[in-house]
Chains A and B, each alone.
Chain A
Amino acid sequence: MAVKIAVKGVSAWYDSIKALDGVTLELKEGEVASLIGPNGAGKTTLLRCVCNILKPKIGAVMIDGVEVDELTSRELAMKIGYVPQVQPSHLPLTVLEVVVLGRKPYVNWSLSNRDFEVAWRVLKMVNAEHLANRYFDELSGGERQKVFIARALAQEPEVLLLDEPTSNLDLKHQLEILSIIRSLAKERNLTVLMAMHDLNLACRFSDVLVMLCNGRIYAVGSPSEVITPDNIRKVYGVEAKILKTPHLTIVPLEVIS
Chain B
Amino acid sequence: MSEYGFTHRYRFNKVSVLVMLAISIPIIFLVSISVGVVPVSLLEVALSVLGFNEVDPIAFTVIFNIRVPRALMALISGSVLAVSGATLQGVLRNPLVSPFTLGVSSGASFGAALAIVLGVGLIGSSSYIVMFNAFIFALIACFTALLIARLKGATSESVILAGIAMMYIFSAAITLLQYIAREWELKALVHWMMGDLALANWRRAYLIAPSILVCIPLLKYAWDLNALMLGEETAKSLGVNPESTRLICASLSALAVAIVVCMTGPIGFIGLVSPHMARYLVGADYRYSMIASILIGALLLTTADTIARIIIAPIELPVGVVTAFLGVPLFVHLLLKARREIWR
**A residues with CB within 8 A of B:** 48, 51, 53, 72-74, 76-77, 80-84, 86-94, 96-98, 100-102, 104-105, 107-109, 111, 113, 116-117, 120, 132-133, 135, 137, 151-152, 155, 161
| CB–CB A77/B237 < 8 A | yes
Name which of A92, A101, A161 has the most chain B CB atoms within 10 A of its CB: A92
Q: How far apart sit A179 and B44, CA to CA, in the bound complex (Å)?
A: 72
Given the known interface contacts A100-B6, A116-B6, the answer about A92 and B340 at a Cβ–Cβ threshold of 8 Å is yes
Q: How far apart sit A124 and B270, CA to CA, in the bound complex (Å)?
A: 43
Q: Closest approach, in angstroms, between the C-beta of B242 and any C-beta of chain A?
A: 10
B217-258: CB near A (< 8 Å → 1, else 0) gives 000001100110111011011111100000000000000000
Question: B8: which A residues are within 8 A, CB to CB?
Answer: 133
Question: A101: which B residues are within 8 A, CB to CB?
Answer: 226-227, 229-230, 238
Given the known interface contacts A80-B237, A93-B284, the answer about A88 and B1 at a Cβ–Cβ threshold of 8 Å is no
Identify which of A84, A109, A120 contacts B1 (C-beta below 8 A). A120
Identify which of B5, B241, B341 contacts A90 (C-beta below 8 A). B341
Name which of B1, B226, B233 has the most chain A CB atoms within 10 A of its CB: B233
Question: B283: which A residues are within 8 A, CB to CB?
Answer: 92-93, 97
Question: A96: which B residues are within 8 A, CB to CB?
Answer: 5-6
Those of B4-35 within 8 Å (CB) of chain A: 5-6, 8-9
Q: Closest approach, in angstroms, between the C-beta of B233 and any C-beta of chain A?
A: 4
B343 in the interface, Cβ–Cβ < 8 Å?
Answer: yes
B126 in the interface, Cβ–Cβ < 8 Å?
Answer: no
| CB–CB A117/B1 < 8 A | yes
B329-344: CB near A (< 8 Å → 1, else 0) gives 0000000000011111
| CB–CB B9/A133 < 8 A | yes
| CB–CB A87/B231 < 8 A | yes
| CB–CB A88/B342 < 8 A | no
| CB–CB B237/A82 < 8 A | yes
Known: A73-B236, A77-B239, A109-B287. 5 other contacts (CB 8 A): A53-B237, A92-B340, A93-B229, A96-B5, A101-B229
Identify which of A72, A86, A88 contacts B229 (C-beta below 8 A). A88
The majority secondary structure among interface residues of chain A is mixed
Question: A116: which B residues are within 8 A, CB to CB?
Answer: 1-3, 5-6
The majority secondary structure among interface residues of chain B is loop
Question: A82: which B residues are within 8 A, CB to CB?
Answer: 233-234, 237
Closest to A87 in B: B231
Q: How far apart sit A84 and B233, CA to CA, in the bound complex (Å)?
A: 7
Q: How far apart sit A151 and B227, CA to CA, in the bound complex (Å)?
A: 11
**B residues with CB within 8 A of A:** 1-3, 5-6, 8-9, 222-223, 226-227, 229-231, 233-234, 236-241, 279, 283-285, 287, 340-344
Name which of A51, A84, A98 has the most chain B CB atoms within 10 A of its CB: A84
Identify which of A81, A107, A108, A135 contacts B237 (C-beta below 8 A). A81
Question: B341: which A residues are within 8 A, CB to CB?
Answer: 90, 92, 137
23 contacts between A and B (CB under 8 A): A51-B237, A73-B241, A77-B239, A84-B234, A86-B231, A86-B233, A87-B231, A91-B229, A91-B230, A92-B279, A92-B341, A93-B284, A93-B285, A101-B226, A104-B239, A107-B223, A109-B223, A113-B1, A113-B2, A116-B5, A117-B1, A132-B5, A151-B230
Closest to B226 in A: A101
Closest to A114 in B: B1
| CB–CB B238/A104 < 8 A | yes
Given the known interface contacts A73-B241, A94-B9, the answer about A104 and B227 at a Cβ–Cβ threshold of 8 Å is yes
Question: A111: which B residues are within 8 A, CB to CB?
Answer: 3, 6
Question: A107: which B residues are within 8 A, CB to CB?
Answer: 223
Question: A113: which B residues are within 8 A, CB to CB?
Answer: 1-2
Given the known interface contacts A116-B1, A135-B340, the answer about A84 and B231 at a Cβ–Cβ threshold of 8 Å is yes
Name which of A84, A88, A101, A133 has the most chain B CB atoms within 10 A of its CB: A101
Q: How far apart sit A231 and B9, CA to CA, in the bound complex (Å)?
A: 53
Q: Closest approach, in angstroms, between the C-beta of B119 and any C-beta of chain A?
A: 49
Identify which of A48, A90, A117 contacts B344 (C-beta below 8 A). A90
| CB–CB B230/A88 < 8 A | yes
Question: A104: which B residues are within 8 A, CB to CB?
Answer: 223, 226-227, 238-240
| CB–CB B234/A87 < 8 A | yes
Question: B5: which A residues are within 8 A, CB to CB?
Answer: 96, 116, 132-133
Q: How far apart sit A227 and B120, CA to CA, in the bound complex (Å)?
A: 76
Q: How far apart sit A90 and B6, CA to CA, in the bound complex (Å)?
A: 18
Closest to A90 in B: B344
Q: Closest approach, in angstroms, between the C-beta of A170 and any C-beta of chain B?
A: 23
Given the known interface contacts A84-B231, A88-B229, A100-B6, the answer about A76 and B239 at a Cβ–Cβ threshold of 8 Å is yes
Q: Closest approach, in angstroms, between the C-beta of B301 and any C-beta of chain A?
A: 26
Question: B343: which A residues are within 8 A, CB to CB?
Answer: 90, 92
| CB–CB A73/B239 < 8 A | yes
Closest to A82 in B: B237
